[in-house]
Structure 1
């Protein structure tokens, strides 16, 4: 009887504790398909889970659920993860596009339970978007891997991102009501073979531009196979720039392979497309495509985007204008989800200059870029419950080109229970998995504590996807502490700030691919140099390079295209991408003495260098991707894709189509042979490049001192002016009186 009363007291305390952090108006029950209450919160979810008794959880469902027929299915897999302590949870995310007609969703979770759990009560609860949907008992099974199936109600699955939360709750105390030594140990592992499976059909397209990029890119063809991006045979600079921007955006939606083709219009049949995006000046359009543009008026001020069918009945998107610059405006509109979603018909008009409004709005917020609060990212504060080591991740909203500047600064406001063993309790902050700051917890500051620190020098110039906050909440005499004693907790408030501005320095390495060609998520003063008469092969190769550097790119960057024969010193202040051979690309030829692997005098082979001696045959049949410090401007970079012939250049095209091979690129020089084998070398000292301080970051970090200095200086200047005026008035007064005395 005493044990039951004691356990009931524990449950009541936990409910009281969670309620003290966030009041809950009524007890939440397992969500059903008819549940239409307001959006659930994470704290409410924790409250419900901790109010249950693991002993009452049902046995796990080990039978694969019966599901309705669906034409397509998609599996979302996850990395291996662990649950530990009294309460622990992990979030798994999956995405549901607008064009899906979802038929079913279920999860197959494969897990292993530690022998430490033998004979102890524990449960696993599954929640969709913070709504609990199912709970099951967990038990040790002689070291064997176990599987549980969880059917997810379709009514709780929303368009866009969804979270499946797996929460573990374990009663880690013995018959005497004392905590066990292993309360902080890992007691369950979720394998990376676990997945969420979504069955769906595809909704019919209504030829609405708002549906873009569907049907040109969709989950039914995740590699982009069958999609061709084409430009006219004249391939004007504006056509190629607009098309390359769309290529970068669409490549972000490919998965393991990028099969999107890029060609001149005359070569389009060779790519065998069943979906086409055509970008062309109106005067360069063949008549069969002009006839599909029903309104050609004002094309000198506008670009027209038309979603039609081609002669075979396949989807065709035509982007055309009589003004070359308008084509890029149209591409930006298609890349901007907020703008494209407004186009509810098959025809859209994009006015020249419309991108400037969006670009100016981005500029206005540049001074506060990288300045976030916990609420901005997480939606609320962060709650930590239970003894021992507790940790949570803050997933940062950084683009792939982000690198931390030396002005990074973090301020965490937090509070915690006052029953801790303050000799052993502390908070630690990690940049990814690298510890960057810690602080011992004290009883005197339990109701309001603060940790402020600047980011250490060794993480400046690096990037990460998350910041981890960990609390070690230790109790005195824990092994014999009755369970009805207070549960330790900590809370990081939502007004905690993360000032993490991006570095303005360039990093020339394939390990950090977006630099220097992107910054703040957009193309960074990028110039693509192409031949005077580019071929489909050349454009296809460059499109794959842009596809790699454009992963996740935002619109409204600075991207231009120029013929390499027209390149001059006035064009030098750009980051440059170009491809070709010694004999057909004058820019590559002019940089020969700057290349890591230079050409021989006749351009038919590459020379050996201090890092690799090349055989004669090998030197004439390889392609080399070379990242260089620009010889034309300071703090700029050049990517030269070099080869001795066009066949060798095709190795790079084939290599770049595999995401696995792209990820294997490293250092600043990559050799690719005819078997697509890769060798990489480092020639540039990249360390010095990443520590360059940012002016904006420095100003923001010391903004209070700067403000004080400005005000103080202003006051001093005003006082000085006042003194000068007074002295002048006194001098004038004495001069006047002196003259009057002389007259008298």
Structure 2
């Protein structure tokens, strides 16, 4: 009887496990499972259009798997088109996940039509973080001749941007610590689907806005993808109910009664400190309540959100932040030496051209100067045709140099490649390193077992000499408001009452600014127009709002490039553009001016519109990374249809590097100058000895012996 009861118990427990844990789910993050799960969600990453050319070709796409996701399924959908000359009995496509092959197929037909195929990825090969899908193509054409087909232009395969990688997952419904909430708040799915937001009171308290903008900037610099932003909402906004992850940033006196009661129950909040506490509100809603009884403590708590090392130490559900507690990160400066091949190096595999791309993040206010160079350390296989094999480096798809591969250096090669002066690069950029790995008579000898390879070692790096730009134009934005990875003494002048469009514009702007920062250093102050003081006058100023609701904008209307009419209801024509009054009333503007108070090295950015609703169009450009490149000059108008009108009003500033500074950057120039100075000194000393030895003196009338 007892044995029968045990068997029944085991069966019941097994059935419960099946219901609680989805079959085939992989707990990638290693977090404990819970009965309270979120509904199944899907996060999709699109491929880019890519044309694979040659007998052998490769296309790659990375996608993200968050540590908090319990992955149930990963599906690759490929949209492709193969050459009509493809031999469908010999040609093939092979798919790998993280360098492990798991699926192969032949092109559907050789009609040259477009085809789609769905491929399920084995979950056991996934890992938290970035994962890599690679498609290797082998395109053999019909009636091809040995050796000739290797270089034929008829071998091609197109991968279309409609190709996707879709990850289906669920996760724990609630967070139990500040650390777990913090990491969920800025995860890729929360950003893309606007599941996370900052919430302030309806009071118009500038300390709350200040703390929230510091939080947005500080968290944004840790995000993986560029898309999405963190909305800034008021507590009474109806859309708050749709937000799953909420950071409520309010002074204690403005808290709704239910939150104030929660704070009082902790008994931890005094007059000097800030309190952070996690609240689970049901329906998959998580709240990080941040409050203080004074403005300075609240702003300090907002700054702490930009310190990930500290935030990830908060494994409890409550934190009291002392007013004098050190929460700032280190000060980051522009690097001179930047490794970019990864801590484990980068591996290339396969014949013909193999390409890897690397993103190099650099301060937006800096441009690459003379004497910048690449140092590459690499090795490669010895079965290459060294008459045709080489390595090439590109910056933003512009080739800057190549080096031939050689048998003698296959076990360890290196190259130093100078960056040409004619390449104008500011801020972040892309580096591409390709290896042309050619093998003699590859098709003729069928040496598939000797596929070539190359390896970039971790010692590969970029040496950058840079200069700060003084040109106040949108090509350099967000400089000067962000310089050398830090907010640069910024004052934001906001209306006494922020409406939803102004809050959205600010949230988007600081999302972008945050992407150019590291850590949480730098100064940010938010004030109302009537609170202008000496510190604000001496800072970089951002004014946001309308002619009617922001007197700072109204009082400086005469200094704008695009001015408002007397009523403030429309922008008026100027020397650059004739504006119809009706059209002028529908525009938003961003105008980048020198300091309105004649403070050297300072700037003023006016983001304004006749109505708050018109701020949306310009905010979408200042607040989306993909749109920044569209902004040029120093005066921009935007309408609801997405049209941009960009003009330059200020004169061009000459390059900021003096000739002496340019020379000082070059080692060869430094050596030449040193040798020249020493030679002149020796010449002068010799001349003095000659004069003294011969008794020559300077007297009235000239030199005399």
Give TM-score, length-normalised by structure 1: 0.72
**Structure 2 CA distance for aligned equivalents of residues 470 and 355 of structure 1:** 46
With over 3 angstroms needed to count, the CA separation of the structure-2 counterparts of 1:617 and 1:166, relative to structure 1, is closer
Q: How many Å apart are 1:553 and its aligned residue?
A: 5.1
Q: What is the CA distance between 1:431 and its match in structure 2? A: 0.3
Q: How does 1:346-365 map to 2 (within 5 A)?
A: 346-355=317-326, 357-359=328-330, 362-363=331-332
The structure 2 residue matched to 1:398, chosen from 361, 382, 389, is: 361
Q: 1:501 to 1:492 in 2, by over 3 A?
A: same
**Alignment map for 1:316-395 (pairs within 5 Å):** 316-355=287-326, 357-359=328-330, 362-363=331-332, 366=333, 369=335, 371-375=337-341, 377=342, 379-383=344-348, 385-387=350-352, 390-395=353-358
Change (3 A) 1:684 1:166: farther
Give the superposition deviation at 1:79: 0.5
Match of 1:180 among 149, 152, 164: 149
| 2:305 match: secondary structure | helix
SS at match of 1:82: strand
Q: Is the 8 A contact 1:223 1:259 kept in 2?
A: no
> Shift of residue 662 of structure 1?
7.5
Q: Counterparts of 2:571 and 2:25 in 1: how far apart (Å)?
A: 69
1:641 aligns with 2:641: no
Query: Cα distance, 1:621 vs. partner?
Result: 5.0
Q: Does 1:462 align with 2:426?
A: yes
Comparing 489-498 with 558-567, greater Cα deviation is found at 489-498
Q: Counterparts of 2:25 and 2:182 in 1: how far apart (Å)?
A: 33
Is the contact between residue 363 and residue 516 of structure 2 (CA under 8 Å) also seen in structure 1? yes
Structure 2: distance between partners of 1:703 and 1:237: 54
Aligned equivalent of 1:678, options 639, 643, 652: 643
Matched, 1:594 2:565: no
User: 1:481–1:268: structure 2 CA closer, same or farther, 3 Å change rule?
Assistant: closer
1:131 counterpart residue number: 100
SS at match of 2:266: coil
Deviation at 1:465, TM superposition (A): 4.4
Residues 669 and 94 from structure 1, CA distance in 2 versus in 1: closer, same or farther, beyond 3 angstroms?
A: same
Q: Higher helix proportion, which one?
A: 1
Distance 1:204 1:180 in 2: 56
Determine the C-alpha separation between the residues in 2 that align with 1:295 and 1:540.
33
Q: Which residue of 2 aligns with 1:527?
A: 491
Q: 1:536 offset after TM fit, Å?
A: 5.6
What are the equivalent positions in structure 2 for 1:23-34 lying under 5 Å apart?
Answer: none
Can you list the C-alpha shifts for 1:261-292, whole angstroms capped at 9, x where unaligned? 422x4x34575555543212234434432211
**Could you tell me how far 1:209 is from its partner in structure 2?**
1.7
Using a 3 Å threshold, how does the CA distance of structure 1 residues 462 and 374 change in structure 2: closer, same or farther? Answer: closer
1:415-467 CA distance string (max 9 Å, x none): 56778777765443210211222345567766665432332233333355421
What is the CA–CA distance in structure 2 between the aligned matches of 1:696 and 1:380, rounded to whole Å?
35
Alignment of 1:76 with 2:48, yes or no, is no
Deviations 1:160-183, CA, capped at 9 Å, x for gaps = 221122223567999985453526
User: Which of residues 255, 262, 272 in structure 2 aligns to 1:285?
Assistant: 255
Residue 309 and residue 669 in structure 1: after superposition, are their counterparts in 2 closer, same or farther (change >3 A)? Answer: same
In structure 2, relative to structure 1, the CA distance for the partners of 1:475 and 1:391 (3 Å cut) is closer
Unaligned runs of 5+ in 2: 1-23, 27-37, 682-705
Distance between the aligned counterparts of 1:620 and 1:137, measured in 2?
58
Aligned residue pairs, count: 635
The separation in 2 between residues aligned to 1:703 and 1:347, in whole angstroms, is 58
Identify the match of residue 120 of structure 2 among 128, 147, 151. 151
Indicate if the aligned counterparts of 2:200 and 2:232 stay in contact, CA closer than 8 A: no
Which residue number corresponds to residue 209 of structure 1?
178
Unaligned runs of 5+ in 1: 1-32, 36-68, 717-744
How far apart are the structure 1 equivalents of 2:327 and 2:667?
31
How far has the Cα of 1:201 moved from its partner? Answer: 2.3
Task: Output the CA distance in 2 between the equivalents of 1:701 and 1:353.
Answer: 45
Deviations 1:695-735 (A, max 9, x none): 999988759969x98xx99xx9xxxxxxxxxxxxxxxxxxx
Q: 1:184 to 1:608 in 2, by over 3 A?
A: same
Contact 2:67/2:128 (<8 A) preserved: yes
Deviation at 1:95, TM superposition (A): 1.3
Q: Aligned partners of 2:430, 2:606: CA distance in 1, in Å?
A: 33
| Offset, 1:555 | 3.6
The Cα RMSD (Å) is 4.6
1:575 aligns with 2:540: yes
Alpha-carbon distance between aligned partners in 2 of 1:568 and 1:695, rounded to the nearest angstrom: 39
CA 1:697–1:564: 2 relative to 1, 3 Å:
farther
Instruction: Specify the SS of the correspondent of 2:300.
Output: helix
* Mapped partners of 1:694, 1:574: distance in 2: 30
CA contact (8 A) 2:276 2:288 kept: yes
Tell me the TM-score normalised to structure 2 length. 0.75
State the match for 1:563 in structure 2. 528
CA displacement, residues 543-602 of structure 1 (integer Å, 9 cap, x when unaligned): 343344445754403222233323244434433211234455343345434321123456
Aligned partner of 1:97 among 51, 66, 70: 66
Q: 1:181 to 1:295 in 2, by over 3 A?
A: closer
Distance 2:243 2:147 in 1: 67
